[in-house]
Amino acid sequence: MNKTNDPLNDSSDLFRQALEASDHAALIANLDGIIEYANPALLHISGYALDELLGAHCRIFQSGLTTHSVYQALWSTLQGGGVWDGDLLNRRKNGELFWQHLHITPLKSGKKISHFFSSATDLSEQHAIQQRVDWLSSFDTLTGLPNRPHFISRLKASIQEVIGTHQSLSLIHLDIDNFGALNEKHGEQEGDRILKQVGEALRDSIRQGDILARLSGDEFGLILRDSQIDEQHLETVQGFASAISELLSAERMQAELTFSMGIAVFPGDGSDADSLMYSAAIAKQAAVAEGGNRFMFYQGGPENSKSARLDLINQLRHAINHGELVLHYQPQVSLVSREIVGFEALVRWNHPERGLVQPVQFIPLAEETGLIIPLSEWVLETACKQMRDWRNAGLPAVRVAVNMSARHFHMKTLPEQIAALLARTGLDAWQLELELTESMMMRDAAVAIGIVDQIKSMGVQLTLDDFGTGYSSLAYLSRLSIHALKIDQSFVRDITSNPVNASIVLATIAMSHKLGMRAIAEGVETEAQRTFLQRHGCDEIQGYGFSRPVPAEQAGQMLRDGRKLEPTLSSTGDHSQPTLLLVDDEPNIINALRRIFHHEGYRIVCANSAAVALELMALNRIDVILSDQRMPEMTGVELLSRIKELYPSTIRIVLSGYSDINDITDAINKGAIYKYFTKPWDDEILCEEMRKIFRDLREEPVV
């Protein structure tokens, strides 16, 4: 750097050293925006050499994607002597975009501004996570269709658009009949495949402007714009019916798979999104009650359903006051100590005639009618007393997580109520944990933050439940000082086979740790899911794999017995031995390969399908995978492409016939596979090639 115009020239060497050592990108520019100093962090992040930056204009970093008005505001603030703070999307020398948070200050020589000093933090990682989280909060990862919250906001917008016009819109609620049974019979993977295909068939049959979404499980929603209940409308509906039937007959499953649709029309069947959704769901239920495999229009709210509802409300009121509610407790276990660290309290209704009723069947009604307040108060009180009783009985002190309802959470007196409850039961504040949801927090964000702060200051724990299914705003999360994020079970379910969900879970774990929170995964059912989560630093799990929710008596017994998670298979295995996973649906081939590698000193693990292979990948540390190409449920290339995303350091090799070479070359070009061997193979050559691969591995250990 030319010493004469080095703005740091006169400053102490200490300041220079500090700037050079900082991991914040720092820059000094003159009044014309010409760069006179750039520190090593800036060179590193921008990819420019010092010579290229000195004397260049600051706009060298501009991406062209930040609006002109932002720069205008920036320069006018600085020239007026103010400090500018904000995010900019910049470009590196190699063309890549990156986000920075900049803090720019004018520097004065005497009274006049002579230079500007800019210090920046890199936001690329946060923005990448945010983008992923934004996507996941609006779309369903299996079908790629909008999800329920996104659908409802589109429905609200569509209603706004047609209000005051002569247009109408219809909402269709579609449900596959007996999907649960089908899933059980053919397996979840086949179930997922069918859902995907139904989604595709529906997508192909809608008109431009119609909106399709997957609402949950096997339920789809459809908004038809500008459609009257006339012949044309019926034709559209029948169009879906036949599109799906065609698909099903192509699948040769027509006899098994049918569906029910409920149709509600705006404004006649509901004046807002919620009531329209409700009417369509009622109409769908009526279609199911008629035996399924049909569509029905909403019948204008039959009187008997209204009276049944009133009846249920009265029964629920009675239940709350007469001890018909019970709490079941589901343990939450630490993946570090493997011990029970808490329980989630889940309410059930012990109905005198209907037996144990699950919360999904009465919580929404309680929310609607306000009965949720006495219900929630009862749950809080009962859960806290239970913890105190266990502690008094000498059992280890653990947390209890209680699900908050939106109404209860927004009650002004909630903090006082909780303080009084803690005083009354003598429970330590840390033992109580409140589970909040994002929608609850978004209703009135400023009020919500105030309540959270008050409750937190008492020492009560706060967790964000069902994370990933709501708004998932990072900016908002970092302002909310909560203790834990609970990853929704819909992401955990296929974590070992769906790279998109797996990466969302990993991003969520990373993000929660960055923000100083615990990550807890719910719905953990299998050993493979647990091992995967454990390997990626998740703190706690909850799910049927360890225990279903159980009555208090049984939960207390678990604490008394000191029940723990079993050690994982991978933690007990021998890690020093290199491991080879063989995948082929033909047992003969597996046996032949086993024989060949038998004396090579590898630990050999075998799978007879892609699904088993994914399970074993999660359970074991696999160095090399050798997979057949032609397998019934998934090709070897497809399997290895997923494995590339899930376990990038595993060496992936495919074993194929000559006819598959095109697919395989393509996969090699995309980096999905490392090598391929052809069938029939030569034992000697195969063995030697494998030795080479393992030798290279030893020289460059897999991390």
Question: How would you class 321 by CB atoms within 10 Å of its CB: exposed for 0-12, middle for 13-18, buried for 19 or more?
Answer: exposed
Residues 357, 360, 361: CA angle, nearest 5 degrees: 50
Q: Does 403 bind Mg ion (CB under 5 A)?
A: yes
* One residue of 74, 243, 280, 379 binding ligand C2E per CB under 6 A: 379
CB 624 within 8 A of CB 693: yes
Rounded to a whole number of angstroms, the minimum distance from the CB of residue 549 to Mg ion is: 11
> What is the residue-wise DSSP string for 49-80?
-HHHHTTSBGGGGB-S-S-HHHHHHHHHHHHT
Q: Does 433 bind Mg ion (CB under 5 A)?
A: no
Q: Does 435 bind Mg ion (CB under 5 A)?
A: yes
Q: How far is it, in rounded angstroms, from Cα 530 to Cα 538?
A: 9
Single-letter code of the amino acid located at 62? Q
Determine the 3-state secondary structure of 264 from DSSP: strand
- Report the run of H or E that residue 276 belongs to, with start and end: helix 273-289
What is the residue whose two structure tokens read 């050798």? 626
Question: How would you class 703 by CB atoms within 10 Å of its CB: exposed for 0-12, middle for 13-18, buried for 19 or more?
Answer: exposed
**DSSP-derived pairing of the beta strands 651-656 and 675-678:** parallel
* One residue of 330, 463, 469, 508 binding ligand C2E per CB under 6 A: 330
Two tokens, residue 75:
């320069």
Question: How would you class 469 by CB atoms within 10 Å of its CB: exposed for 0-12, middle for 13-18, buried for 19 or more?
Answer: buried
Rounded to a whole number of angstroms, the minimum distance from the CB of residue 308 to ligand C2E is: 21
Interface of this chain with ligand C2E, residues 433 to 452, rule: CB under 6 A: 435
Q: Does 555 bind ligand C2E (CB under 6 A)?
A: no
Q: Does 140 bind Mg ion (CB under 5 A)?
A: no
Q: Does 466 bind ligand C2E (CB under 6 A)?
A: yes
* Number of shown-chain residues binding ligand C2E (CB under 6 A): 23
CB 677 within 8 A of CB 657: no
Over the window 518 to 537, marking each residue x when it contacts Mg ion by CB under 5 A and - when it does not, the resulting string is ----x---------------
Rounded to a whole number of angstroms, the minimum distance from the CB of residue 545 to Mg ion is: 16
* Residue whose Cβ sits closest to ligand C2E: 543
CB 520 within 8 A of CB 542: yes
* One residue of 89, 265, 347, 639 binding ligand C2E per CB under 6 A: 347
Q: Does 540 bind Mg ion (CB under 5 A)?
A: no
Q: Does 469 bind ligand C2E (CB under 6 A)?
A: no
CB 399 within 8 A of CB 432: yes
The stretch near Mg ion (CB under 5 A) out of 179-187, 188-196, 246-254, 463-471 is: 463-471
Q: Does 360 bind ligand C2E (CB under 6 A)?
A: yes
Q: Does 438 bind Mg ion (CB under 5 A)?
A: no
**DSSP-derived pairing of the beta strands 97-109 and 112-122:** antiparallel
Torsion sign (Cα): 573, 576, 581, 587: negative
Q: Does 358 bind ligand C2E (CB under 6 A)?
A: yes
User: Among residues 183 and 403, whose Cβ is nearest to Mg ion?
Assistant: 403
User: Among residues 463 and 641, whose Cβ is nearest to ligand C2E?
Assistant: 463
The stretch near ligand C2E (CB under 6 A) out of 102-110, 307-315, 352-360, 551-559 is: 352-360
CA distances for 683 relative to 253, 604, 646, angstroms: 43, 17, 30
Rounded to a whole number of angstroms, the minimum distance from the CB of residue 140 to Mg ion is: 17
Q: How far is it, in rounded angstroms, from Cα 619 to Cα 57?
A: 54
Q: Does 255 bind ligand C2E (CB under 6 A)?
A: no
* One residue of 174, 244, 363, 667 binding ligand C2E per CB under 6 A: 363
Among ligand C2E, Mg ion, none, the one that 88 touches (CB under a kind-dependent 5 to 8 A) is none
Two tokens, residue 317:
């009121």
Among ligand C2E, Mg ion, none, the one that 270 touches (CB under a kind-dependent 5 to 8 A) is none
* One residue of 522, 540, 615, 623 binding ligand C2E per CB under 6 A: 522
* One residue of 291, 424, 544, 595 binding ligand C2E per CB under 6 A: 544
114: nearest Cα among 81, 73, 76, 74: 81
Q: Cβ atoms within 10 A of the Cβ of 196, count?
A: 15
* One residue of 221, 342, 468, 523 binding ligand C2E per CB under 6 A: 523
Single-letter code of the amino acid located at 649? S
Rounded to a whole number of angstroms, the minimum distance from the CB of residue 346 to Mg ion is: 8
User: Among residues 555 and 646, whose Cβ is nearest to Mg ion?
Assistant: 555
Q: Does 465 bind Mg ion (CB under 5 A)?
A: yes
- Please provide the size of the chain in residues: 703
* Number of shown-chain residues binding Mg ion (CB under 5 A): 5
Q: Does 468 bind ligand C2E (CB under 6 A)?
A: no
**DSSP-derived pairing of the beta strands 484-487 and 461-467:** parallel
Two tokens, residue 555:
């939960």
| Residues at the site binding ligand C2E, with contacts judged by CB under 6 A | 330, 346-347, 358-360, 363, 376, 379, 403, 405, 435, 465-466, 489, 522-525, 542-544, 549
Residues that bind Mg ion (CB under 5 A): 403, 435, 465-466, 522
